[in-house]
């Protein structure tokens, strides 16, 4: 069941999303060679708690961190730990906040120091996938218009589009209906309506689309061990426009 939100609810979700964008700006300052992923998790958690929020991922189905820290060939759900970032790495961060019962969700892949042109292009294209997906996310369109737009950009560059994980409704819970795949499959294709708040999140691999899950039951990595990128925004659909909630300009 897709939950349409009223103005008051969207306002609450927006506040949660703006806090998330501010927290990200702070975390990004700490992305330097030598820092551990656990230290980044600590920064994220403390910023959220001091802002009066709750880290939405912490203990979600037993997830042990506040932040997902996925380095290089790790696609998503990397668990913060003793791994130190090094020059040339890319790190995908994924973070959600519960602020007064309103949920936000956003991800971004960040370069550590100077990265290769090949890696930078993957980041740029994945960001473009998200942008095109958001442009297709207008009232009257359908979920598969988003999926098609995201896939087309990645496919044009020969990148692998991860199929096992999808975007989703978000706002009153972390994961709500509908699912938003990054490829056009056989699933449901609901119409996009004013009041929908959704997270669009392309996960794009430099090489093959295939991924596997580690024994920790969280870490998702590319089978070919080539790098992966992930960008995600929470957005709200209105009758005459779509707002990117997890962005501050």
The minimum distance between CB 232 and Co ion, in angstroms, equals 5
Rule CB under 6 A: say whether 24 interacts with ligand MF3.
no
The HSE-up count of residue 149 (CA atoms within 13 Å, CB side) is 21
Rule CB under 5 A: say whether 199 interacts with Co ion.
yes
The minimum distance between CB 101 and ligand MF3, in angstroms, equals 17
Considering CB distances under 5 to 8 angstroms, the limit depending on partner class, which of Co ion, ligand MF3, none binds residue 60? ligand MF3
Q: Which is nearer to ligand MF3, 130 or 199 (CB)?
A: 199
Q: Tell me how far apart the alpha carbons of residues 218 and 60 are, in angstroms, rounded to a whole number.
A: 12
Query: Which residues fall within 8 angstroms of residue 91, CB to CB, at 6 or more apart?
Result: 31, 37, 69, 70, 71, 72, 85, 109, 110, 112
* Range 22-48 burial, b when 16+ CB lie within 10 A, else e: ebbeebeeebeeebebbbbbbbbbebb
Considering CB distances under 5 to 8 angstroms, the limit depending on partner class, which of ligand MF3, Co ion, none binds residue 8? none
Task: Tell me which residue has its CB nearest to ligand MF3.
Answer: 57
H or E segment to which residue 241 belongs: none
The minimum distance between CB 105 and Co ion, in angstroms, equals 4
Q: Which is nearer to ligand MF3, 46 or 121 (CB)?
A: 46
Contact with Co ion (CB under 5 A): which of 105, 145, 209, 221?
Answer: 105
By C-alpha distance, which of 229, 103, 74 is closest to 159?
A: 229
Residues 163-202 that bind ligand MF3 (CB under 6 A): 168, 199, 201
The minimum distance between CB 60 and ligand MF3, in angstroms, equals 4
Q: Tell me how far apart the alpha carbons of residues 64 and 24 are, in angstroms, rounded to a whole number.
A: 19
Residues 49-88 that bind ligand MF3 (CB under 6 A): 57, 60-61, 63, 68, 77
Binding site for Co ion (CB under 5 A): 105, 199, 201
């Amino acid at each position: 069941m897709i939950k349409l939100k009223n103005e008051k609810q969207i306002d609450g979700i927006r506040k949660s999303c703006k806090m998330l964008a501010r927290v990200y700006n702070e975390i990004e300052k700490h992305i330097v060679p030598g820092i551990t992923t656990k230290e980044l998790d600590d920064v994220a958690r403390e910023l959220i708690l001091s802002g009066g929020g709750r880290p939405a991922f912490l203990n979600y189905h037993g997830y042990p961190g506040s932040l997902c820290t996925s380095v290089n060939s790790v696609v998503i759900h990397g668990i913060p730990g003793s791994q130190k970032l090094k020059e040339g790495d890319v790190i995908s961060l994924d973070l959600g906040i519960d602020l007064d019962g309103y949920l936000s969700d956003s991800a971004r892949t960040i370069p550590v120091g100077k990265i290769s042109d090949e890696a930078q292009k993957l980041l740029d294209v994945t960001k473009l996938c998200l942008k095109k997906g958001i442009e297709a996310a207008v009232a009257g369109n359908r979920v598969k218009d988003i999926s098609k737009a995201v896939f087309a950009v990645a496919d044009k560059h020969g990148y692998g589009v991860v199929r096992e994980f999808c975007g989703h409704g978000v706002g009153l819970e972390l994961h709500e209906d509908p699912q938003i795949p990054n490829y056009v499959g056989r699933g449901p294709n609901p119409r996009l309506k004013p009041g929908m708040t959704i997270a669009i999140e392309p996960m794009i691999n430099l090489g093959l689309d295939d991924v596997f899950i580690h024994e920790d039951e969280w870490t998702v990595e590319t089978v070919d061990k080539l790098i992966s990128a992930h960008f995600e925004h929470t957005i709200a659909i209105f009758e005459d426009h779509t707002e990117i909630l997890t962005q501050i300009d």
